[in-house]
Every structure is written in structure tokens, then in C-alpha cells.
Amino acid sequence: MSARILNGNAIRDQIYGELQSEIRALAAEGIRPGLAAVLVGENPASKLYLNSKIGACGKLDLASFLLTPPASIDTAELLALIAQLNTRDDVDGILVQMPLPLQIDAKKILDAVDPAKDVDGFHPVNVGKLVAGRPSLVACTPAGVMEILRRSDIPISGANAVVMGRSDIVGKPMALLLLHASATVTVCHSKTRDMKGISRRADIVVAAMGRAAMITEDFIRPGATVIDVGQNVVTDRAEAERIFANFPEKLASFATKGSVLVGDVHPDVMRTAGAFTPVPGGVGPLTIAMLMSNTVRAARQRRSSAGKASRAVPV
């Protein structure tokens, strides 16, 4: 048995096609959605990831603004920058690339973003709306996972779903989205007892633990759908040979580059799973697609809210 590969690139392209129609409709009204991205310092990995987001804006003809304050910036200075972006009418979405330097209070920065422009879905207001079942702007990676499941015709309602990981960015919102879609959801984490036994009962497993190839075949019920959120860079040859013993092309790539990307799910799981997201090419493209979707949604919602406010009768 070999799993059906859930192609994130193909699903991303479907979403981009739909977004282009919405973007054209907004353009007809004189609206061009804009995303402001803030990159503090020169973290190479963050810069590479942010460039892919800016590139997606260009592909969809969204306005993008890259702000690169120095790594020495303090919390007060960064809060002032966020306050400026909150007032700019040409900015519909604000993205603060993580991680931030240690001297900055990251929670204060994320809380300072206008919830209407919080395209990462991290603000407590947007998290609260998700908890209440009234989602507005939802964290991009979990929202992307839901698109993969729905567009791949994976049954969610009534399914037993296990989310591996309880982070604020992925695990918790992922569990809520699955719950709102009528799945029965269990969240596993580092203190969970009998994680393998719990996972083996699942119809859907979402792995977001941040540990390379942690989820092995004995975690997975034959035929289950496995969604791998992890992105881990392996640079140790022995580890690469252990993980990719059955994948010579990956080992050849490692020999050339000195590193290889692996998810939280061991690649051998595709022999057991019914459906499987690869790394790369699975969840990653959907994270960026949902950031674009949130930016377009924010542009529409902000203009709708402004219209309602202008029509309000003063008392």
C-alpha cells in the first residue's frame, strides 16, 4: 500500500486562481490589497521565507511593503512602527516575521497589531473569534491544512482527529478548526501518555511537534490521513541515513547539499497512510496561500466596515 500524495502546490494554485477573481473585483472598486511585512535584523532563514511571501504578493498583484528595521531596535520603537502601519489606509495586512530579537517583547508587538490587519491570525481578538466559532482572520498554517483536507475530499465530520502539538500558532487553532468542522479532536503534546495508542485510533493525524521524523509507522492506523506540518533541517549524515534509508534520491540530495528537509513524520509512513502530505510541497505552500487569502479578506472587511461606519446615524 502506498499513500495518496496530497499536493500542496496544486491546491495553492487553485486558491490563487480563486483569489485572482476577487482581486480583480476589488480593483474594479479602486481597491488594491496591501501587505506590510516587518523583518527585524538579518536572520537568513526569516529573510528567505519573507521573500517568498513578498513574491506571492507580486504574483497576485497585491501591494507589498517590506520594512527592515535594524536588529538593535527596541520594543518601544517597534511599537511605534506598528502604530504607523495601523493607520495607513494602503496597508490591509501586517505581518511581523518571527522570531524577534531577545530584547523585544514579542507578545506586546503582536498585540499591538490592529486585529483588522492581523493577517497572521495571532491577535487575541481573532483567536477569541475562532474559539467562539466566528472566525475572521485565522492562523495561516491551520487554515491551509483545512483547505488541503476539504479540497482533497478527506471526510472531516465525525472523524477522529489527533493534533500532535499545542502551540498557539498551529496546534491550538488547528484543533479548534477541526472541532468546528465536527471532528472529534484529541491534542497530544510532550506530557501525553500513550501517544502512539491515541494516534493509532485516528482517522486524521496532524503532526506539528517540531521534531524531525518523530511520527513513525507505528503511530498510524492503516489508511489514515497524515498531515505533516513540520519543517526540520537535518545536517547530520547518520540521522539523514536513518530517516531516508528507503529514499536514495533524498540521500543523494543530502550528499550534494549537506542538508535535507524533513517533516515531523517519518517518510516511511507513506507505506501505511491512506493520504500523506510531503515535505516540502505539502502544507508549506498553503501557509503562504492563506496569508494571501487573509490579506484579500482583510481588505474587503476593512472597506465594508468603513462603509457601515460612514452610514451610521450619529446619536
Which residues are known to be catalytic? 53, 97, 120
Residue type, 235: T
Residue whose C-alpha cell is 549524515: 237
CB-based burial, 235-247: b 16+ in 10 Å, e otherwise: eeeebbeebbeeb
Closest CA to 265 of 243, 249, 285: 243
- Give just the sign of the alpha carbon dihedral 131, 231, 75, 292: negative
Residue type, 171: G
Q: What is the DSSP letter of 132?
A: T
Residue type, 38: V
Residue whose C-alpha cell is 482517522: 203
Q: Write the CA distances from 305 to 1, 168, 227, 299, integer angstroms.
A: 52, 28, 36, 10
CA dihedral 161, 7, 146, 160 (to 10 degrees): -10
Longest distance between any two alpha carbons in the chain, whole Å: 72
Residue type, 104: I
Q: Is 48 in contact with 284 (CB distance < 8 Å)?
A: no
CB within 8 Å of 48: residues ≥ 6 apart: none
Polymer length of the chain: 315
